[in-house]
Amino acid sequence: MRIPEGTYQVNASSGKLHVYTFKEGFLSAVAHDLLIEVTDFQVKLSVPAEGIHVSTVEATIQACSLKVICAMKDGLHRYDMLKEKDKTDIEEATCKEVLHTDKHPVINFRSTDIQEKDGAYLVKGDLTLHGVTRPVEFHARTTTGKDLKGKVALSQKDYGIKPYKAFLGTLKVKNEVEITFDLSLT
């Protein structure tokens, strides 16, 4: 099913954008994989009248709007594993030490090519993160014509980001993070 023609504006009240981080290192047994929600973003989708493909996707994300939802263990949400202070400390470290939001407050994406086939989309574009612009591509799909879901894996180092580490490097976040989106186009 295709997305109907038109222009769509999506934000945190009509869509979800999540970041998943994964632990590694000698002390990883005492650390947590994390589910983080982006709470301030705008996505604009333009679908041409001929309905053949989505012509453009533009997204703007406020880099310091990442809020820790919970720890993840064995793929399950574990709301009991982090205290509120832990979440706040992680959010502050993410803004100040990882994303350097004082210098790079906004993350931007702009599509350069989108190919559609049977409700599935191959999206190619440029992502500007941490002051670095690089090409990315990902798959998205719609099941109802009024939603768009997908995910993309990113290497932090590709954007000049040093993955977070503590305790002399014995506890660290893996270089690769996963971003998922679920956007309602109503």
Listing DSSP states for the chain in one string gives -PPPSEEEEEETTTEEEEEEE-EESTTGGGS-EEEEEE-SEEEEEEE-TT-SS--EEEEEEEGGGEEEEEEEETTEEETTS--HHHHHHHHHHIIIIIS-TTT--EEEEEEEEEEEETTEEEEEEEEEETTEEEEEEEEEE-SSSSEEEEEEEEEGGGGTPPPPEEGGGTEEE-SEEEEEEEEE--
Which pLDDT belongs to residue 93? 92
Give 10-residue mean pLDDT values along the chain (186 residues). 85 97 74 93 87 76 97 92 94 94 98 85 96 97 90 97 75 92 93
Residue 171 lies in a domain: yes
Q: How far apart are CA 94 and CA 164, in angstroms?
A: 8
Q: Please give the residue range of the domain that contains residue 125.
A: 6-184
Q: How many CA atoms lie within 13 A of 44 on its CB side?
A: 6
**Distance from C-alpha of 186 to C-alpha of 176, rounded to nearest angstrom:** 32
pLDDT value of position 53: 53
Report the domain count for the chain.
1
Residue 37 within a domain: yes
User: Is 140 inside a domain boundary?
Assistant: yes
Residue 148 covered by a domain: yes
Q: Which residues pair with 43 in a beta bridge?
A: 10, 59
CATH number of residue 129's parent domain: 2.40.128.110
**Amino acid type, 76:** L
Q: Give the residues across from 78 on adjacent strands.
A: 71
Provide the pLDDT for residue 167. Answer: 65
Put simply, whether the predicted model's pTM sits higher than 0.85 gets the answer yes
Residue 1 lies in a domain: no
Do residues 78 and 27 make contact, with C-beta atoms less than 8 angstroms apart?
no
Residue 59 lies in a domain: yes
pLDDT value at residue 116: 82
In this structure, are residues 70 and 81 in contact, taking their beta carbons and an 8 Å threshold?
Answer: yes
Other CB atoms within a 10 A radius of the CB of residue 185 amount to 20
How long, in residues, is the chain?
186
The reply to whether 75 falls in a domain is: yes
Q: What confidence score (pLDDT) does residue 28 get? A: 63
Residue 90 belongs to a domain: yes
Structure confidence at residue 112 (pLDDT): 94
Cβ pair 163, 156 in contact under 8 A: yes
pLDDT of residue 106: 98
